Amino acid sequence: MRSITSRLSSLLHLAAPLALTFVGVVLLSLGVAYLFIHFYRTVEGLPAVFWALTLQFLPRPMRGILLIMAGLGVLAVGIWQLSGIVVIPFRQSSSPVDDELVLGYHRKGPPNIAVLSGGPGLLVLSAIGAQVRRLTCVVPVQDPVEYYYRASGLFNMQNVYYVVPTPVPMQVVAELDDGTRMDVRHLALDQSIAARHVARLSLDGASGGSLQLTRLAAEAIRDADAIILGPGSLFESILPNLLIDELREAIAGSKARKIYACNLMTEPGRTTGFSVADHIKAIKAYGGFTPDYVLVNAQRIDPEVYRLYAAAHQSPVYLSPEEYEEMALLPADRGIGRGVMIEGSVVLEADLASSVIQYTASLSNPTENRAVRVLRHDSEKLGLAILELLRRS
C-alpha cells in the first residue's frame, strides 16, 4: 500500500491540470453523445450493427452504468501509467519560460548486481554493496563458498551475498599453449610456465551440460540489472563458471548490462601476452557473448615498477592503437574517459587503480626484501565507474 501511495504522490502537483482535463473530456463526451443521438434519431436505414453498438437492447440506466464503469477503468489505467513518470517542476518565477514541467524520468530503485569473480575481486566490488539493492557474488565453480564467507567476515559489508554455482565444487583443468595440463589453481605456483598462456579450459570429469545450477545462482542472474565480470583472474576466477552450460546460457540471454573489469596486468602462465582484445575474445569464446562495457585502467606505472613486473613475465593491460585504429571514437563519458569499440564491446579507459606498497625480493639479491609500489584495483574508483555506467544505462 505504501509503494502505491508513494507512486501516486508524484501526481499531487498535477491535481488541478488533471481535474481540468477530466472536466474537458466529460464536456467533450457529452457533446459527442448529443450529436450521436441526433444522428441516430434522424438518419433512417442504419445497419443493425449500430443497434448493438449503442446497447439499445439494455435499459438506459444500465447503459449509463456500464459506460461509467468502462470510463473509470480506462481513466485508472491512464493515471497509473502517468504516475510511473517522475514529474519535476522547475522553480516558479514571473517568467513563463522558467515555469515548466520536465517529464520522462523513469522511476527505478537501486539495481541488483550479480558478480562473477574471485576472492580479491569480490572484496573490491563489495564496497558498492551499500548503494545497490543486492550484490550477489557467484563464486568460481572450483571454490567452496566458506572461503568467501570467512573473508567477508573481516569487513563490514552491506547487501552482499555469496552463492555457489553448483552444489559440489568442480576441478577446472587448464591446457597451456605448449600442451601442459594442470589444475587452474596451480598455474600461479609454477614459475617454469610463467611465459606460457592458457589455450583451453575444461571441467575435470564432467561436462557443462551435466552440471546442475543452484537455484540461488540462477535467481541472481535472472534478477540482475547488471552482471559484472571481474576484477580477478580471467582463467581462474571468471571463465570457469562459463563452462556451466545453464549459467552461460542464462548470462548470454540476460538483458542485464554486462560489464567486464579488465585485468590491470597480464598473469604469468595464464594471460601472458594478452591484449584487451584477447581478454574480450576469451569471454566471447567461453561465454558466447561480448560484454556491453569493458573498463580498462588508464593509469601508467613508473619504469622501475614496470621492470619488476616484466621480470615476473607481467605487463600492463592498456589500450593500444592497433586494437581500434579502424574504429570510431565514441563521445566521452563523465568521469570515465573516451570509449572505443573493440570486438563488439564499448571499451572505456578510467583511473581504476591505486599504488600500494608490497614487500618483494630484490632483483639483484633475492634474499633481500624491499618495498615496491604495485598496482591494485581501487575499490572506490572501480565502484564509482560501475555505478556511473549503470546510471547512464
Mean pLDDT (the chain, rounded):
81
Please tell me the predicted confidence (pLDDT) of residue 87.
55
β-bridge mates for residue 226, sequence order: 113, 257
- CATH number of the domain at 254, please: 3.40.50.10680
Percent of the chain predicted with pLDDT > 90: 40
The verdict on 70 and 135 lying in the same domain is no
What pLDDT score does 234 carry? 96
Closest CA to 202 of 242, 253, 251: 242
> Same domain, yes or no, for 137 and 75?
no
Q: In the structure, what pLDDT confidence band is assigned to residue 326 with cuts at 50, 70 and 90?
A: very low
From 100, 94, 112, select the one nearest 159 (Cα to Cα). Answer: 112
What's the confidence (pLDDT) of residue 269? 93
Q: Where among 106, 138, 167 does a domain terminate?
A: 106
Tell me what pLDDT residue 286 has. Answer: 96
Among residues 54, 86, 106, the one where a domain terminates is 106
Q: In this structure, are 139 and 173 located in the same domain?
A: yes
Whether residues 327 and 184 share a domain: the answer is yes
**What is the rounded distance in angstroms from the CA atom of residue 167 to the CA atom of residue 211?**
9
Q: Residue 101 above 60 pLDDT?
A: no
Whether 143 and 169 map to the same domain: the answer is yes
Using the predicted structure, report yes or no on whether residue 292 has a pLDDT greater than 90.
Answer: yes
Cα angle 127-128-133, degrees, rounded to a multiple of 5: 135
pLDDT at site 145: 73
Q: What is the pLDDT of residue 281?
A: 95
Of the chain, the percentage scoring pLDDT greater than 70 comes to: 75
Q: Which domain holds residue 73?
A: 2-106
Regarding whether 84 and 120 lie in a shared domain, the answer is no
Query: Has residue 204 got a pLDDT over 80?
Result: yes
The predicted model gives 240-251 an average pLDDT of 96
Integer Cα distance of 74 and 377 in angstroms: 53
Q: Please say whether the dihedral angle defined by the alpha carbons of residues 194, 197, 203 and 208, taken in this order, is positive or negative.
A: positive
Q: What is the pLDDT of residue 320?
A: 78
65, 80, 106 - which closes a domain: 106
Cα separation of 80 and 87, whole Å?
13
Mean pLDDT confidence for 245-258: 96
- Can you tell me the mean pLDDT for 254-270? 95
Cα angle: 220, vertex 221, 225; to 5 degrees: 95
How confident is the model at residue 289, as a pLDDT? 96
Number of domains in the chain: 2
Among 1-10, 107-116, 273-282, 378-387, the range scoring the smallest mean pLDDT is 1-10
Q: Are residues 259 and 367 in the same domain?
A: yes
State pLDDT tens for residues 111-126: 999 999 987 787 788 7
Q: Are residues 78 and 209 in the same domain?
A: no
Highest mean pLDDT: which range of 42-46, 198-202, 346-350: 198-202
Q: Answer whether residue 33 shows pLDDT above 90.
A: no
Q: Verify that 57 and 139 share a domain, yes or no.
A: no
The whole-angstrom separation of Cα 48 and Cα 53 is: 9
At residue 361 the predicted structure's pLDDT band, cuts being 50, 70 and 90, is low
Least confident span in 72-86, 173-187, 233-247, 356-370 = 356-370
Grade residue 22 by pLDDT with cuts at 50, 70 and 90: confident
User: 246 with 267, same domain?
Assistant: yes
pLDDT digits (tens, 9 = 90+) for 160-195: 888 999 999 999 999 999 999 999 999 887 888 989
Average the pLDDT over 37-59 and give the result.
Answer: 71
- E-state strands within the chain: 85-89, 101-106, 112-116, 134-138, 160-163, 172-176, 181-183, 198-203, 226-229, 257-261, 293-297, 330-333, 337-342, 345-350, 353-361, 369-377
Residue in the structure block whose three cell numbers are 576441478: 171
pLDDT at 95: 45
Question: What average pLDDT does this structure show over 49-64?
Answer: 73
Q: How confident is the model at residue 97 (pLDDT cuts 50, 70, 90)?
A: very low
> Does pLDDT of 360 surpass 90?
no
